[in-house]
Amino acid sequence: MNGSFAIELENVTKVYLSREDEVQALEPISFRIHSGEFVSLVGSSGCGKSTVLSLAAGLIRPTTGVVRIMGKDVLAPSNRVGYMLQQDCLLDWRTVKDNITLGLEFRGLKTEKTESHARFLLGELGLAHTLKQFPSQLSGGMRQRVALVRTLAVQPDILLLDEPFSAVDYQNKLYLEELLTGVLKKSKVTALLVTHDLEEALALSDRILIMGNRPGRIRRTLEVPEELRSATPLKARGKPSFRPLFNELWKEMDR
Protein backbone atom coordinates (compact mmCIF):
# COMPACT_ATOMS: atom_id res chain seq x y z
CA MET A 1 0.00 0.00 0.00
CA ASN A 2 2.93 2.33 -0.63
CA GLY A 3 1.56 5.80 -1.08
CA SER A 4 -1.96 4.66 -1.98
CA PHE A 5 -4.88 6.73 -0.81
CA ALA A 6 -8.20 5.68 0.69
CA ILE A 7 -10.14 7.45 -2.03
CA GLU A 8 -8.62 8.82 -5.19
CA LEU A 9 -10.31 10.51 -8.15
CA GLU A 10 -8.15 11.24 -11.18
CA ASN A 11 -9.48 13.48 -13.95
CA VAL A 12 -12.96 12.10 -13.46
CA THR A 13 -15.82 13.41 -15.59
CA LYS A 14 -19.43 12.33 -15.71
CA VAL A 15 -21.88 12.98 -18.51
CA TYR A 16 -25.52 11.98 -18.05
CA LEU A 17 -27.20 10.97 -21.29
CA SER A 18 -30.89 11.04 -22.08
CA ARG A 19 -32.88 10.93 -25.31
CA GLU A 20 -33.21 14.70 -25.45
CA ASP A 21 -29.95 15.87 -24.05
CA GLU A 22 -26.58 15.22 -22.53
CA VAL A 23 -25.65 16.93 -19.31
CA GLN A 24 -22.10 17.32 -18.12
CA ALA A 25 -22.41 16.81 -14.38
CA LEU A 26 -18.69 16.97 -13.61
CA GLU A 27 -15.81 18.56 -15.42
CA PRO A 28 -12.50 16.78 -14.85
CA ILE A 29 -12.01 16.67 -11.11
CA SER A 30 -9.21 15.14 -9.08
CA PHE A 31 -8.73 14.77 -5.35
CA ARG A 32 -7.18 12.36 -2.89
CA ILE A 33 -8.25 11.43 0.58
CA HIS A 34 -5.81 9.92 3.05
CA SER A 35 -6.66 6.93 5.15
CA GLY A 36 -8.37 8.03 8.37
CA GLU A 37 -9.18 11.50 7.06
CA PHE A 38 -12.64 13.09 7.31
CA VAL A 39 -13.46 15.16 4.22
CA SER A 40 -16.66 17.07 3.45
CA LEU A 41 -18.03 18.06 0.07
CA VAL A 42 -20.13 21.20 0.16
CA GLY A 43 -21.80 23.19 -2.59
CA SER A 44 -25.15 24.41 -3.80
CA SER A 45 -27.66 21.81 -4.92
CA GLY A 46 -27.10 20.36 -8.37
CA CYS A 47 -23.34 20.85 -8.26
CA GLY A 48 -22.58 17.14 -8.51
CA LYS A 49 -21.79 16.35 -4.87
CA SER A 50 -23.93 13.24 -4.85
CA THR A 51 -22.53 12.21 -8.23
CA VAL A 52 -19.04 12.19 -6.73
CA LEU A 53 -20.28 10.05 -3.86
CA SER A 54 -22.05 7.58 -6.17
CA LEU A 55 -18.86 7.32 -8.22
CA ALA A 56 -16.81 6.52 -5.12
CA ALA A 57 -19.44 3.98 -4.04
CA GLY A 58 -19.23 2.25 -7.42
CA LEU A 59 -22.93 2.78 -8.07
CA ILE A 60 -22.18 4.59 -11.33
CA ARG A 61 -19.11 4.53 -13.60
CA PRO A 62 -17.21 7.67 -14.60
CA THR A 63 -17.45 8.76 -18.24
CA THR A 64 -13.70 9.32 -18.29
CA GLY A 65 -10.99 9.15 -15.64
CA VAL A 66 -10.33 6.71 -12.83
CA VAL A 67 -11.80 6.23 -9.35
CA ARG A 68 -9.68 4.24 -6.90
CA ILE A 69 -10.55 2.91 -3.46
CA MET A 70 -7.54 1.75 -1.44
CA GLY A 71 -5.46 1.90 -4.60
CA LYS A 72 -7.79 -0.34 -6.62
CA ASP A 73 -9.96 0.76 -9.54
CA VAL A 74 -13.64 0.85 -8.63
CA LEU A 75 -15.78 -1.25 -10.96
CA ALA A 76 -18.61 -2.23 -8.62
CA PRO A 77 -19.68 -1.50 -5.03
CA SER A 78 -16.76 -2.48 -2.83
CA ASN A 79 -16.89 -4.57 0.33
CA ARG A 80 -14.72 -2.03 2.12
CA VAL A 81 -17.19 0.80 1.69
CA GLY A 82 -20.22 1.72 3.79
CA TYR A 83 -22.86 4.03 2.37
CA MET A 84 -25.48 6.07 4.13
CA LEU A 85 -28.31 8.21 2.80
CA GLN A 86 -30.53 11.00 4.05
CA GLN A 87 -33.45 8.55 4.21
CA ASP A 88 -32.92 5.70 6.66
CA CYS A 89 -34.33 3.22 4.10
CA LEU A 90 -35.04 0.65 6.81
CA LEU A 91 -37.09 -2.28 5.54
CA ASP A 92 -40.33 -2.01 7.45
CA TRP A 93 -41.12 -5.73 7.20
CA ARG A 94 -37.90 -6.68 8.98
CA THR A 95 -37.09 -6.29 12.65
CA VAL A 96 -34.22 -4.06 13.71
CA LYS A 97 -32.12 -7.21 14.18
CA ASP A 98 -32.67 -8.25 10.55
CA ASN A 99 -32.23 -4.70 9.27
CA ILE A 100 -28.79 -4.15 10.77
CA THR A 101 -27.47 -7.40 9.28
CA LEU A 102 -28.78 -6.66 5.77
CA GLY A 103 -25.35 -5.71 4.39
CA LEU A 104 -23.78 -8.81 5.95
CA GLU A 105 -26.50 -10.90 4.34
CA PHE A 106 -25.94 -9.39 0.89
CA ARG A 107 -22.20 -9.87 1.08
CA GLY A 108 -22.43 -13.40 2.45
CA LEU A 109 -20.65 -12.40 5.65
CA LYS A 110 -23.46 -13.20 8.08
CA THR A 111 -21.93 -15.35 10.80
CA GLU A 112 -22.39 -15.68 14.54
CA LYS A 113 -19.42 -13.36 15.01
CA THR A 114 -20.41 -10.55 12.63
CA GLU A 115 -23.99 -10.70 13.88
CA SER A 116 -22.94 -10.30 17.49
CA HIS A 117 -20.71 -7.40 16.43
CA ALA A 118 -23.74 -5.72 14.84
CA ARG A 119 -25.68 -6.23 18.07
CA PHE A 120 -22.73 -4.77 19.99
CA LEU A 121 -22.80 -1.65 17.78
CA LEU A 122 -26.54 -1.33 18.36
CA GLY A 123 -25.86 -1.38 22.09
CA GLU A 124 -23.11 1.24 21.69
CA LEU A 125 -25.68 3.55 20.10
CA GLY A 126 -28.08 2.93 22.97
CA LEU A 127 -30.61 0.86 21.05
CA ALA A 128 -30.06 -2.64 22.42
CA HIS A 129 -33.69 -2.78 23.57
CA THR A 130 -35.05 -2.31 20.03
CA LEU A 131 -33.55 -5.52 18.63
CA LYS A 132 -36.88 -7.27 18.15
CA GLN A 133 -38.92 -4.19 17.22
CA PHE A 134 -40.03 -3.10 13.76
CA PRO A 135 -38.88 0.24 12.29
CA SER A 136 -42.42 1.63 12.49
CA GLN A 137 -42.10 1.49 16.28
CA LEU A 138 -39.05 3.78 16.34
CA SER A 139 -38.70 7.56 16.21
CA GLY A 140 -36.95 9.31 13.31
CA GLY A 141 -33.70 9.79 15.23
CA MET A 142 -33.67 6.17 16.36
CA ARG A 143 -34.30 4.95 12.83
CA GLN A 144 -31.31 6.92 11.55
CA ARG A 145 -29.17 5.44 14.33
CA VAL A 146 -30.26 1.95 13.24
CA ALA A 147 -29.29 2.91 9.69
CA LEU A 148 -25.88 3.96 11.01
CA VAL A 149 -25.47 0.58 12.72
CA ARG A 150 -26.41 -1.18 9.45
CA THR A 151 -23.72 0.85 7.66
CA LEU A 152 -21.07 0.11 10.29
CA ALA A 153 -21.99 -3.57 10.69
CA VAL A 154 -20.09 -4.51 7.52
CA GLN A 155 -16.99 -3.02 9.17
CA PRO A 156 -16.12 -0.66 6.33
CA ASP A 157 -12.76 1.08 5.99
CA ILE A 158 -14.44 3.94 4.18
CA LEU A 159 -17.74 5.65 4.92
CA LEU A 160 -19.63 7.55 2.23
CA LEU A 161 -22.29 9.76 3.76
CA ASP A 162 -24.92 11.50 1.62
CA GLU A 163 -26.49 14.16 3.86
CA PRO A 164 -27.13 11.52 6.51
CA PHE A 165 -28.37 13.87 9.22
CA SER A 166 -30.32 16.44 7.24
CA ALA A 167 -33.70 14.79 7.84
CA VAL A 168 -33.46 14.55 11.63
CA ASP A 169 -34.13 17.34 14.10
CA TYR A 170 -31.32 19.57 15.36
CA GLN A 171 -30.89 17.87 18.72
CA ASN A 172 -30.68 14.43 17.13
CA LYS A 173 -28.32 15.76 14.49
CA LEU A 174 -25.84 16.93 17.13
CA TYR A 175 -26.21 13.65 18.98
CA LEU A 176 -25.65 11.59 15.82
CA GLU A 177 -22.61 13.68 14.89
CA GLU A 178 -21.08 12.98 18.29
CA LEU A 179 -21.79 9.27 17.94
CA LEU A 180 -20.35 9.15 14.44
CA THR A 181 -17.09 10.91 15.28
CA GLY A 182 -16.77 8.74 18.38
CA VAL A 183 -17.05 5.56 16.33
CA LEU A 184 -14.77 6.86 13.56
CA LYS A 185 -12.01 7.89 15.96
CA LYS A 186 -12.01 4.47 17.56
CA SER A 187 -11.82 2.53 14.30
CA LYS A 188 -9.75 4.93 12.13
CA VAL A 189 -12.25 4.89 9.30
CA THR A 190 -12.00 7.28 6.34
CA ALA A 191 -15.11 9.36 5.71
CA LEU A 192 -16.43 11.39 2.80
CA LEU A 193 -19.47 13.46 3.75
CA VAL A 194 -21.77 15.29 1.37
CA THR A 195 -23.72 18.03 3.09
CA HIS A 196 -25.29 21.42 2.53
CA ASP A 197 -24.95 22.24 6.21
CA LEU A 198 -21.78 24.33 6.48
CA GLU A 199 -21.74 24.14 10.28
CA GLU A 200 -21.81 20.39 10.11
CA ALA A 201 -19.00 20.30 7.55
CA LEU A 202 -16.85 22.58 9.70
CA ALA A 203 -17.54 20.75 12.97
CA LEU A 204 -16.82 17.28 11.61
CA SER A 205 -14.15 17.56 8.92
CA ASP A 206 -10.38 17.70 8.58
CA ARG A 207 -10.76 19.20 5.13
CA ILE A 208 -13.60 20.75 3.16
CA LEU A 209 -13.91 20.65 -0.62
CA ILE A 210 -16.09 23.44 -1.95
CA MET A 211 -17.74 22.56 -5.24
CA GLY A 212 -18.93 24.93 -7.94
CA ASN A 213 -21.82 24.62 -10.32
CA ARG A 214 -22.55 23.56 -13.87
CA PRO A 215 -20.53 21.61 -14.62
CA GLY A 216 -19.46 20.47 -11.17
CA ARG A 217 -15.89 21.23 -10.19
CA ILE A 218 -13.85 21.75 -7.04
CA ARG A 219 -13.54 25.47 -6.50
CA ARG A 220 -11.55 25.55 -3.32
CA THR A 221 -10.11 23.37 -0.60
CA LEU A 222 -10.26 24.52 2.99
CA GLU A 223 -8.05 22.94 5.64
CA VAL A 224 -9.79 22.93 9.00
CA PRO A 225 -7.40 24.14 11.75
CA GLU A 226 -6.23 21.73 14.44
CA GLU A 227 -8.23 23.58 17.11
CA LEU A 228 -11.51 22.46 15.52
CA ARG A 229 -10.32 19.05 14.33
CA SER A 230 -9.29 17.85 17.76
CA ALA A 231 -12.54 19.00 19.40
CA THR A 232 -15.78 16.99 19.30
CA PRO A 233 -18.39 18.40 16.90
CA LEU A 234 -20.35 19.99 19.73
CA LYS A 235 -17.29 21.63 21.31
CA ALA A 236 -15.90 22.72 17.93
CA ARG A 237 -19.02 24.83 17.40
CA GLY A 238 -18.04 26.86 20.48
CA LYS A 239 -14.38 27.50 19.56
CA PRO A 240 -13.33 31.09 18.73
CA SER A 241 -12.09 30.21 15.23
CA PHE A 242 -15.41 28.55 14.30
CA ARG A 243 -17.44 31.68 13.40
CA PRO A 244 -14.82 33.41 11.19
CA LEU A 245 -14.28 30.19 9.26
CA PHE A 246 -18.00 29.67 8.90
CA ASN A 247 -18.35 33.19 7.48
CA GLU A 248 -15.51 32.55 5.07
CA LEU A 249 -17.19 29.35 3.88
CA TRP A 250 -20.50 31.14 3.59
CA LYS A 251 -18.98 33.87 1.44
CA GLU A 252 -17.29 31.31 -0.75
CA MET A 253 -20.61 29.53 -1.30
CA ASP A 254 -22.35 32.78 -2.10
CA ARG A 255 -20.05 33.67 -4.97
Partner 1 sequence: MKKWLETWLTRGAKSDAHARYLRRLRLTDGWVNVTRLGILALFVAVWEIGAEKGWIDPFLFSSPGRIWDLFLRMAADGGLFQDIGITVLETVIGFVLGTAAGTGLATLIWLFPFLSRVLDPYLVVLNSMPKVALGPLFIVTIGAGFGSVLAMGVAITVIITTLVIHSSFQSVDPNYLKLARALGANRRQLFCRIIFPACIPDMIAALKVNVGLAWVGVIVGEFLVSKNGLGHLIIYGFQVFNLTLVLLSLLIVAILATVMYQLVFHLEKRLLRHRQLE
Binding mask 85-104 for partner 1 (x = CB under 8 A): x-x-x-xxx--------xx-
Q: List the one residue out of 201, 165, 252, 181 whose CA is nearest residue 40.
A: 201
Told to check if 158 binds partner 1 by CB under 8 A, we report: no
Told to check if 146 binds partner 1 by CB under 8 A, we report: no
CB 129 within 8 A of CB 165: no
For partner 1, which is the closer residue by CB, 160 or 236?
160
Residues found in the chain: 255
Min. distance of Cβ 166 from partner 1 in angstroms? 14
Told to check if 57 binds partner 1 by CB under 8 A, we report: yes
Q: Cis omega before residue 156 (within 30°)?
A: no
Where in 35-54 is the site for partner 1 (CB under 8 A)? 54
Dihedral in degrees, nearest 10, Cα atoms 126, 132, 137, 141: 30
- Provide the CB-side half-sphere exposure for 210 (13 A, CA): 17
Told to check if 79 binds partner 1 by CB under 8 A, we report: yes
Among 5, 38, 83, 175, binds partner 1 (CB under 8 A): 83
Told to check if 148 binds partner 1 by CB under 8 A, we report: no
Told to check if 120 binds partner 1 by CB under 8 A, we report: no
Told to check if 167 binds partner 1 by CB under 8 A, we report: no
Told to check if 106 binds partner 1 by CB under 8 A, we report: yes
* SS3 call for 121: helix
CA 89 to CA 102: how far, in whole Å? 11
Told to check if 136 binds partner 1 by CB under 8 A, we report: yes
Min. distance of Cβ 86 from partner 1 in angstroms? 8
Told to check if 166 binds partner 1 by CB under 8 A, we report: no
**Distant-in-sequence, close-in-space partners of 67: CB < 8 Å, separation ≥ 6:** 7, 8, 9, 10, 12, 55, 56, 58, 73, 74
Told to check if 111 binds partner 1 by CB under 8 A, we report: no
For partner 1, which is the closer residue by CB, 4 or 79?
79
Told to check if 139 binds partner 1 by CB under 8 A, we report: no
Task: Give Cα 9 to chain centroid, integer Å.
Answer: 16
CA 221 to CA 27: how far, in whole Å? 17
Instruction: Name the β-bridge partners of 252.
Output: none
Measured in degrees and rounded to the nearest 5, phi and psi for residue 29 equal: -125, 150
Told to check if 165 binds partner 1 by CB under 8 A, we report: no
For partner 1, which is the closer residue by CB, 59 or 131?
59
CA 80 to CA 70: how far, in whole Å? 9
- Residues binding partner 1: number (CB under 8 A): 26
Residues that bind partner 1 (CB under 8 A): 54, 57-59, 77, 79, 81, 83, 85, 87, 89, 91-93, 102-103, 105-107, 133-134, 136-137, 150, 154, 160
